[in-house]
Structure 1
Amino acid sequence: MKYFKLIIFVLFLGMLCSCGGDDDICESGEGTPRIKVAFKNEATGKVVTLDSLYVAVDYGSGKVELGKQTKIDSRLIPLRVDDSPYTDVYFRLENKGAESKVRINYNTKSTYVSPGCGIKKTYENLTSQLQTPDPVKNLEPVQNYIENEDKTNLYLLF
């Protein structure tokens, strides 16, 4: 019985010591950043808030709907993390309305972050092409790289 208590105590102590810290959780924004897209009125050049916006992205296996947001002034959109040099993003103002296609071209750079976060991709040499111009009328690039999600990278002109 004495050895049984000792074994239980050693196992409990081993479990207590083997617990790691929060090393396995990527909470501090160290993951791959998303592109930040904001909206302007083409005629005035002023930033606008859209009543609704539907976004879809082609990640290589067909379009994936990211859903609808209402009363929106900017949107964070994840880009492809494979070795593709571009991501196609689709924007609509109405559920069954006209859809604009924007192709975002870039070069990626991979950086090791931690065991929990793994590899972080950063996007450089960002260029955008408006391939289908309705309802988006034009594009206004702001920043040609993505390191974090704080700054707007692209304005869509409506």
Structure 2
Amino acid sequence: MKYYKHIIIVLCSLFVIWSCGGDDDICESGEGTPRMKVAFKSMASGKETPVPLLFAAVDYGSGKVQLGKYENISSILIPLRVDDSPYTDVYFRILETGVESHVRINYTTKTTYVSPGCGIKKTYENLNSELIQSNPVLKLEAGQNQIENENKTNLFLLF
């Protein structure tokens, strides 16, 4: 009888340990919705160049959300809206209290089921951008017009 209790405890412990782990618990390997990669170019040379200071904000439908302050960066990853909106408004400025440029990113979305842990992944297609308010961004240049992962640059901002 004494051994049966130990066997039952060991079997229950093994079952608990075995059932806790799994590949679908969290979304680790970049399977989630990708962000848009934005890089920077010099208006004078047309070559990619790092930006000494940049502030970015995004409107996800309920007002601007500040993404933060970035120093000496050559690119930034921006999460786009995941609702059914056909666009995301993004704001850039190079001074903490300066004027900001307003960029509207238009797209169509496609959803794909990934796993129970990750849920649904959105991919963005037919990207096109319009510069609604220039200064400090002077011009936009299109990159890859779909977002399937975060490796390729989708938009270049010219300063």
In the superposition, the TM-score normalised over structure 2's length comes to: 0.94
Aligned to 1:54: 55
The equivalent of 1:129 in structure 2 is 130
Are residues 1:65 and 2:66 paired? yes
Q: 1:26 Cα shift?
A: 1.2
Question: Counterpart amino acid of 1:24?
Answer: D
- 1:37 is matched with which residue? 38
Shift of 1:68: 0.4
Gaps of 5+ in 2: none
Residue 146 (structure 1) aligned with residue 147 (structure 2): yes
**What SS class does the counterpart of residue 67 from structure 1 fall into?**
strand
Secondary structure (helix, strand or coil) at the match of 1:21 reads coil
State the identity %.
68
Aligned positions, number: 158
Cα displacement (A) at 1:14: 1.8
The match for 2:9 is 8
Matched with 1:89 is: 90
Residue in 2 that maps onto 1:115: 116
1:22-33 maps to which residues of 2 (within 5 A)? Answer: 22-33=23-34
Aligned position for 2:78: 77
Shift of 1:51: 0.6
* 1:91 match: secondary structure: strand
Per-residue deviation, 1:143: 1.3
Q: CA deviation at 1:20?
A: 2.7
Q: Secondary structure at the match of 1:127?
A: strand
Instruction: Determine the C-alpha separation between the residues in 2 that align with 1:49 and 1:14.
Output: 53
Distance in 1 separating the partners of 2:34 and 2:69: 21
